[in-house]
């Protein structure tokens, strides 16, 4: 196969991906995801199961109002039911009603499913495949045939599995897609069987695999190596059980490692943005460890690694992070060397030299605090404030005089009430405020914001996006030291802060204060830059 070949990308996030545990898209969210996929240059967008639910049918109706520039929308369905004329089959009629240019249907190719699930004969199953494909072609549809459980079926009885594909091909299917529905096949099996499929039905062959053996990406690429020209998968690998093949890894591997075209020119640099957008629409926390697009994909922690990356980036990075819209991150921890601290100082625009004594001062303070239980990998806001303090450049924006938290339960059937009182000094003025919240930390947050907003209006934009607690020495039971990590956002930037104490409320307060001070630090920097 020529490396100039373009591999068609078929996205099934809105159908197969939505079947994953904890994944759900609103009607508006589905439209927004589809438009984002179209912008990226995905070739096919599978919008849902036509006969499944009203939300999917509403999507097919609503998407027709949008002007997609590249992608074709596909409706998903099955072959006709056994013993049912295709023109009278409810599922087939729903596919026509969806009014999409493409129809993707799945059919059985494993005799176990034919006899034990459909309770029909092998011959009737072949007719079901052919009748449905032919009917959809007669209605002017581009037809993609997904051969469900094909690889298991092939290993059970290769002759019959191939007959199922030939039935679809002879009836007019435009693309034949063998599926590893159980996700149990190995890459060498996928490659060898894909070659046999191409020999039997010609070059228009795709691949659809699941990730049950953590091989979804590897199996998809193996099929392409064997000649497949169409790859199905989902953004971020959403899907049933352990998920589908992850397009966020498949696409850059095809483009950057194997030399194939797959998205619109210039779209690859927006891949991380696409990944995060789909997570947001599904209300799923992004996977930091995800290759290519994850926050940790180009994060460097060991001092020796950081020093090498500073000199020659490819020494510890297999691609330029910006190629996929990501960025290099230098982490700081007890494993850090002066290179880590120096590069973080450069990020902050502090103008330090690698040999500056201040760099060692920062490293020593970092090591001291980490011995006490602090962790700055996910708390860059706190780290940057720490640097400012070591360099004696930190100006406190307010001073805590006192705080008090009351948690009260007035009735066994009613939730607890939390109230916090905070007393601060700001610019020489004393401010005493009260806040109520769902819990003691929420109440403290509300009181702190109420105290500061009059002096610093930008505080009103800050929201806490995550709150995590870790017990550092559980063997000491209730006297254990606690680390609290808080993630905050002002709608433009996100940052993490950390607090450590034997008292969870005090640890939370420390992280809250850093969160607010870091926001004020950012605003002050922005004002200086004009």
Is 192:222 a contact under the CB 8 Å cutoff?
A: no
Q: Which pLDDT score is estimated for 303?
A: 55
Q: Tell me the range of 234-238, 396-400, 517-521, 524-528 where mean pLDDT is highest.
A: 234-238
Asked if residue 231 lies in contact with residue 9, where contact means CB atoms within 8 angstroms, the answer is yes
Q: What is the pLDDT of residues 56-84, one digit of tens each?
A: 899 999 999 998 999 999 999 999 999 99
More confident residue, 429 or 371: 429
pLDDT (tens digit, 9 = 90+) per residue, 408-422? 887 888 888 899 999
The continuous run of DSSP H or E covering 494 comes out as strand 494-501
> How far, in Å, CA of 482 to CA of 496, rounded?
16
Pairing of β 175-180 and β 206-209: parallel
191 in Cβ contact with 178 (< 8 Å): no
The dihedrals phi and psi of 330, each to the nearest 5 degrees, come to -100, 120
User: End-to-end distance of the chain based on CA atoms, in angstroms?
Assistant: 55
Beta strand spans in 363-458 (E): 399-408, 417-426, 429-437
Mean pLDDT for the chain? 88
pLDDT of residue 3: 45
H/E run at residue 92: helix 90-98
Using pLDDT thresholds of 50, 70 and 90, give the confidence band for residue 302: low
Q: Answer with the residue of higher pLDDT: 125 or 305.
A: 125
Pairing of strands 482-489, 494-501: antiparallel
DSSP reduced 3-state for 522: helix
Can you give the pLDDT at residue 434? Answer: 95
Query: What is the dihedral sign for C-alpha 449, 452, 455, 459?
Result: negative
Are 497 and 511 contacting, i.e. CB atoms less than 8 angstroms apart?
yes
Asked if pLDDT for residue 306 goes beyond 60, the answer is no
pLDDT of 10 strictly over 80: yes
Residues whose CB falls within 8 Å of the CB of residue 284, separated by 6 or more in sequence, listed in order:
22, 23, 236, 238
Partners of 496 in the beta sheet?
A: 487
pLDDT of residue 529: 73
Positive or negative: CA dihedral 263, 266, 272, 278: negative
CA count, 13 A, side-chain hemisphere, 257 = 15
User: Band of the pLDDT at 523, cuts 50, 70, 90?
Assistant: confident
The string of pLDDT tens digits covering residues 154-210 is: 999 999 999 999 999 999 999 999 999 999 999 999 999 999 999 999 999 999 999
**pTM: predicted TM-score of the whole model, two decimal places:** 0.71
For 394, the 3-state DSSP assignment is coil
The span from the CA of 496 to the CA of 464, in Å, is: 10
Taking alpha carbons only, the member of 86, 83, 79 closest to residue 135 is 86
Beta-carbon contacts of residue 256 (< 8 Å; ≥ 6 apart): 268, 319, 323
Q: Is the pLDDT of residue 467 over 50?
A: yes
Whether 1 has a pLDDT exceeding 50, the answer reads no
Distance CA 159, CA 97 (A): 35
**Spatial contact of 381 and 495, defined as CB atoms under 8 Å apart:** yes
pLDDT at 477 over 70: no
Pairing of strands 417-426, 299-300: unpaired
Q: For residues 492-516, give the mean pLDDT.
A: 90
pLDDT surpassing 70 at residue 351? no
Cβ-proximal residues to 254 (8 Å cutoff; 6+ apart), any chain: 7, 221, 224, 231, 260, 262
| Distance from C-alpha of 97 to C-alpha of 82, rounded to nearest angstrom | 21
Domains parsed from the chain with CATH numbers: 8-282 (3.20.20.70), 299-371 (no CATH), 399-529 (3.30.160.270)
User: 236 in the Ramachandran plot: left (φ > 0), alpha (ψ -120 to 50) or beta?
Assistant: left
pLDDT tens for residues 356-394? 777 778 777 777 777 777 777 667 788 888 887 887 877
């Amino acid at each position: 196969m020529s490396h100039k070949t373009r591999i068609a990308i078929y996205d099934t996030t809105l159908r197969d991906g939505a079947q994953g545990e904890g994944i759900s898209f609103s009607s508006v969210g589905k439209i927004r995801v589809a438009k984002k996929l179209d912008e990226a240059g995905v070739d096919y967008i599978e919008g849902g199961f036509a006969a499944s639910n009203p939300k999917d049918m509403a999507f097919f109706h609503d998407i027709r109002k949008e002007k997609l520039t590249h992608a074709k929308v596909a409706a998903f369905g099955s072959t006709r039911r056994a013993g049912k004329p295709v023109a009278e089959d409810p599922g087939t009629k729903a596919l026509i009603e969806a009014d999409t240019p493409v129809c993707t249907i799945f059919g059985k190719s494993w005799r176990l499913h034919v006899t034990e699930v459909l309770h029909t004969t092998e011959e009737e199953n072949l007719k079901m495949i052919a009748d449905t494909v032919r009917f959809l072609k007669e209605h002017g549809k581009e037809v993609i045939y997904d051969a469900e459980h094909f690889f298991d079926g092939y290993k059970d009885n290769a002759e019959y599995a191939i007959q199922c594909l030939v039935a679809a091909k002879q009836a007019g299917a435009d693309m034949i897609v063998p599926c590893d529905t159980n996700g149990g096949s190995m890459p060498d099996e996928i490659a060898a069987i894909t070659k046999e499929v191409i020999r039997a039905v010609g070059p228009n062959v795709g691949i659809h695999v699941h990730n049950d053996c953590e091989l979804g990406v590897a199996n998809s690429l193996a099929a392409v190596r064997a000649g497949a020209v169409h790859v199905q998968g989902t953004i971020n690998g959403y899907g049933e059980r352990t998920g589908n093949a992850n397009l966020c890894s498949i696409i850059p591997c095809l483009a950057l490692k194997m030399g194939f075209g797959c998205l619109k020119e210039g779209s690859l640099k927006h891949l991380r943005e696409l990944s995060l957008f789909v997570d947001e629409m599904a209300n799923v926390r992004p996977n930091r460890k995800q290759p290519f697009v994850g926050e940790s994909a180009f994060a460097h922690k060991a001092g020796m690694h950081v020093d090498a990356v500073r000199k020659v980036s490819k020494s510890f990075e297999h691609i330029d992070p910006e190629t996929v819209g990501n960025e290099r991150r230098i982490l700081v921890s007890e494993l850090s060397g002066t290179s880590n601290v120096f590069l973080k100082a450069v990020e902050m625009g502090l103008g330090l030299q690698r040999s500056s004594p201040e760099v060692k001062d920062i490293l020593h303070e970092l090591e001291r605090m980490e011995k006490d239980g602090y962790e700055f990998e996910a708390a860059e806001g706190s780290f940057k404030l720490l640097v400012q303090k070591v360099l004696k450049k930190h100006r406190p924006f307010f001073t805590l005089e006192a705080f008090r938290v009351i948690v009260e339960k007035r009735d066994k059937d009613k939730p607890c009430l939390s109230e916090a009182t905070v007393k601060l000094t700001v610019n020489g003025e004393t401010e005493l405020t009260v806040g109520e919240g769902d819990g003691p930390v929420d109440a403290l947050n509300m009181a702190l914001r109420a105290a500061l907003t009059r002096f610093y209006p930008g505080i009103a934009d800050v929201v806490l996006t995550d709150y995590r607690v870790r017990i550092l020495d559980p063997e000491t039971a209730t006297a254990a030291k606690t680390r609290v990590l808080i993630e905050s956002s002002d709608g433009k930037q996100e940052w993490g802060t950390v607090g450590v104490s034997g008292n969870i409320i005090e640890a939370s307060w420390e992280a809250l204060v850093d969160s607010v001070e870091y926001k004020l630090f950012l605003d002050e920097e922005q004002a200086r830059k004009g």
